[in-house]
């Protein structure tokens, strides 16, 4: 399986917005949804895990339904710092994935990743 961990656990305090930056809407859609859709629509991605700021987990679940993000299989609470959020995501996947499965890490407020970048990352990971 190929699984991205999309990190959306930050509160975006430096931005000074009324919500975490990954949930700010651009053209009527939260930035995080654009990021998830990149992986949702990629044919080589099997499932998606989102590590989400705890206060917005229910909202994220609503977005997953609203935008039919069917590859989102796990939503995990974020941690105090970036590295804690990443470890929460990794820990959640322990026992779920096989040793030869590939895990990618994507920042949730960065919706500009391309299909070519994802495919290339997967190809490099498969080189032994």
CA distance linking residue 127 with residue 116, whole number of Å: 17
Q: Cβ distance 92 to 49 under 8 Å?
A: yes
Give the residue with greater pLDDT, 53 vs 92. Answer: 92
Query: What's the token pair of residue 124?
Result: 């490099």
Which helix (H) or strand (E) is 60 found in, with range? helix 57-66
Write out pLDDT tens, residues 67-124. Answer: 999 999 999 999 988 899 999 999 999 999 999 999 999 999 889 999 999 999 999 9
Using pLDDT thresholds of 50, 70 and 90, give the confidence band for residue 33. Answer: very high
Q: Give yes or no for residue 23 having a pLDDT over 90.
A: no
Q: Cβ distance 14 to 88 under 8 Å?
A: no
Judged by DSSP in three states, 30 sits in strand
């Amino acid at each position: 399986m190929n699984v991205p961990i999309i990190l959306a656990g930050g509160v975006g305090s430096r931005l000074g917005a009324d919500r975490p930056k990954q949930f700010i809407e651009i053209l009527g859609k939260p930035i995080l949804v654009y990021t998830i859709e990149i992986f949702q629509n990629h044919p080589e991605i099997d499932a998606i895990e989102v590590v989400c700021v705890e206060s917005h987990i229910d909202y994220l679940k609503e977005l997953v339904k609203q935008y039919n993000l069917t590859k989102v299989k796990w939503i995990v609470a974020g941690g105090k710092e970036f590295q804690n959020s990443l470890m929460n995501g990794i820990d959640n996947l322990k026992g779920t994935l096989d040793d030869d499965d590939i895990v990618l890490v994507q920042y949730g407020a960065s919706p500009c990743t391309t299909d070519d970048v994802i495919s290339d990352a997967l190809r490099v990971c498969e080189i032994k």
